[in-house]
Amino acid sequence: MAKKKKDITASLRTLDDKTHILGAGEVVSQPITDTLEYNFMPYAMSVIMSRAIPEIDGFKPSHRKILYMMYKMGLLTGARAKSAKIVGQVMQLNPHGDAAIYDTMVRLSKGYEALLHPYVDSKGNFGKAFSRDMMWAASRYTEAKLEKICAELFSDIDKDTVDMVDNFDNTMKEPALLPVTFPSILVNANTGIAAGMASSICSFNLEEVCKTTIELLKNPKHDVADTLLAPDFAGGGLLVYNRSAIEEIYRTGRGGFKVRARYNYDKSNNCIEITEIPPTATSEAIIDKIIEKVKLGSIKEISDIRDETDLNGLKITIDIKKGTDPDKLMKKLYASTPLQDTFSCNFNVLIKGNPRVLGVKELLNEWIDFRSDCVRRRTAFDLKRAKDRLHLLRGLEKILLDIDKAIRIIRNTDEESEVVPNLMIGFKIDKIQAEYVAEIKLRHLNREYILKRLQDIEKLEAAIKDLEDILANPKRIKQIIIFELKEVIKKYAKPRKTEIIYSTDIEEAAPEEEIPDYPVHLFFTKDGYFKKITPLSLRMSSTHKLKEGDEIVQTFETSNARELLFFTNKQQVYKTTASFFEDSKASVLGDYVAAKLEMDEGEAPVYMAVTADYKGYMLFFFENGKVAKVDMNAYQTVTKRKKLIKAYSDKAQLSALMHIEEDKELVIVSSAGRHLLINTAVILPKTTKDTIGVGVMTLKKGQRLLYARDYREGEFAKPYRYKAKNLPAAGALLSAEDEGEQISLFGNE
């Protein structure tokens, strides 16, 4: 028994040795170049070629598979089918999950409202493109079929107009491209992100695209901007037209343009109703941004905002305060919210397997080449079929000479397999013609039937001549494409949805936010509390409430519109305005600045600078005796950033900091009791915020710069004792008379 078990173990070990895969389960080093070449590149190519970038027919593979399978299901003319059934059928072509297929189908649908000319006629809840949170129903609840315009996608697809390729498991054939009769690549918006590249194609009005293509077919030098006015979106909106920007997109395939929301003012309810928004925005994002602006106090004219979208379409209602100018408010909202957004174009399209960024004219010329090839292949298919038919009728024509002979040959033939050879010999026709004659039913072997068939010979000969002329004459192919485009315009043209407004007719930049400006007193405490109090409130009560051990370290008489810079212990500065803080009273603690400005954990403000125009300098005094003088302009930014890092150097411990509007005399004191009197003009200013400064005070080991303060005129009996000809300097100890003066001075404070 033990021996048997041992033999089995040995066999298993042998089997394992035979089936062992070299390197399996082992960690091996691999050059990064090999990783990129063998691991990443195949994935990147797959994403680019088979997923994210549209082709010249205007579709990505996922779109094409869904539409083709719906066409094969008879959903172009038949009744709607359950979406779940469609998804199940599409999985024969698309080896992805049902959720991904259904999501893609939703985005092609009429109900989703993302396309100017949707391809899927939907019934049920298919969500909305303009909503982030309005999700579509599950596939078991919705129904769909193809829209009528899909007839233009599959026109003559059974006539070898495009290549048919195997699906993923070689069980079915599917088209490599769809033989679209109009430039769908520009008619419906298409975006995709691949590996290392992306595509973003805006939609254009179908009639304008077709007319532009017709003009290009007639005149290759045609300026597309003359007939293709501007992009057009399913969601409407107002396109801010800039001719040079549009022409740049048309020329290079790259660029951007602004689209803003459409609104109307309801005077009776004193509210603004937004009914169309940019294609890159959602109603929820717009509402969230406006609420954020209201909470920050930058927009004070709005009393309420709500989403009133219903079955009639999108509607965002903004209630405004009495006396507010709605047009002026909308200019501010356009400037600071997604109610105006930029659509960035990147016309990246797969052309014969190569991703290329093309301008509109180049793209239309590529489509013309593609469509010309489709027409040529269709013509060649029809020509072959006509010639084959004519060949059969020529054989039938010979039978007409002696029908009785044909019947006699068939009757006198002993074996069935000899019928065709005997007919070939008897009438001098080929095998194909003989097969055709042999298959004619007995009831059709009469002169009337054969004469009717032979009447088609003249028509076929004329048709063959015409088809051969089309193949030989490129102008005929262009005429056919032009005719088809005109038919598309006649059947499917719609008025523009996106209105064009000219940038010269509108104010691009909204006016500066109006901040109420009035006198205020600002107080900043050692523990980081801030109060903004009006003079009237301060006169009524001037006794400050403070935390135990806290004290007021800075006081300013200024205005509500001044900018405030709070420097922190983490070498950062937080920028805001006095208006950001609510008016307070002396009897309250005030705002805790670190919490109000959302500072980092463990971060606390140590100094507050007040400025209106960023004039003057910031002085930073370090314990090592160095002083940094930074121009205030270094803290002024074009964008309204709230936080700036590296506000001052972290190379040495900070002893004091000070904002001065012009150079002045200061007293610097060391831990040894030495005083140095300097004028700040001798310190050169820097534009680099985190400069380490220059040496001003020389210190012995164990000593440090303690603090700095303004020099008070007359506080020193002999000021020259504390001045130095050259810096850095050690300063001087207080004389006996100055010590008494210091005591007197501090005692009077």
* Cα–Cα dist 282/130, whole Å: 5
Q: H or E element: which one contains 464?
A: helix 456-472
Beta strand spans in 162-217 (E): 164-166, 173-175, 190-193, 198-201
Residues 6+ apart with CB under 8 A from 397: 454, 457
User: What Å distances lie between residue 507 and 84, 173, 277, 280, CA to CA?
Assistant: 50, 56, 19, 22
Contact 207, 228 (CB under 8 A): no
Question: Contacts by 515-519 with C-beta closer than 8 Å and gap 24+?
Answer: 515/560, 515/561, 515/577, 515/579, 516/560, 516/561, 516/579, 517/559, 517/560, 517/561, 518/559, 518/560, 519/557, 519/558, 519/559, 519/560
E strands in 56-151: 81-82, 120-123, 143-146
Report whether 185 contacts 57 (CB < 8 A): yes
Longest dimension (CA), the chain: 151
Could you tell me if 261 and 278 are in contact, meaning their C-beta atoms sit under 8 angstroms apart? yes
Q: Are 232 and 279 in contact (CB under 8 A)?
A: no
- Please tell me whether the peptide bond between 728 and the residue prior to it is cis, using omega within 30 degrees of 0: yes
Neighbours of 511 (CB within 10 A): 10
How far apart, in whole angstroms, are the C-alpha atoms of residue 382 and residue 379? 5
Name the catalytic one among 38, 71, 112, 141: 141
**Beta-strand pair 499-502/238-241:** parallel
The one-letter code for the residue type at 700 is K
Amino acid sitting at position 745: L
Nearest to 413 by CA among 444, 441, 405, 443: 405
Whether 141 sits among the annotated catalytic residues: the reply is yes
254: closest CA among 359, 326, 184, 396? 359
CA distance 649 to 675: 24
CA 189 – CA 114 distance, rounded (Å)? 8
Q: Looking up tokens 């899927």, which residue turns up?
A: 120
Q: How far apart are CA 274 and CA 307, in angstroms?
A: 10
User: What crossing angle do the helices spanning 206-218 and 360-400 adopt, rounded to 10°?
Assistant: 70
Closest listed residue to residue 580, CA positions, set 650, 530, 527:
530
> Could you tell me which residues come within 8 angstroms of residue 67 by beta carbon, excluding any fewer than 6 positions away?
59, 108, 119, 146, 150, 153, 178
Contact between 643 and 681 under an 8 Å Cβ cutoff? The reply is no
Q: How far apart are CA 144 and CA 80, in angstroms?
A: 5
Beta-bridged to residue 742, according to DSSP, are none
Active site residues: 141
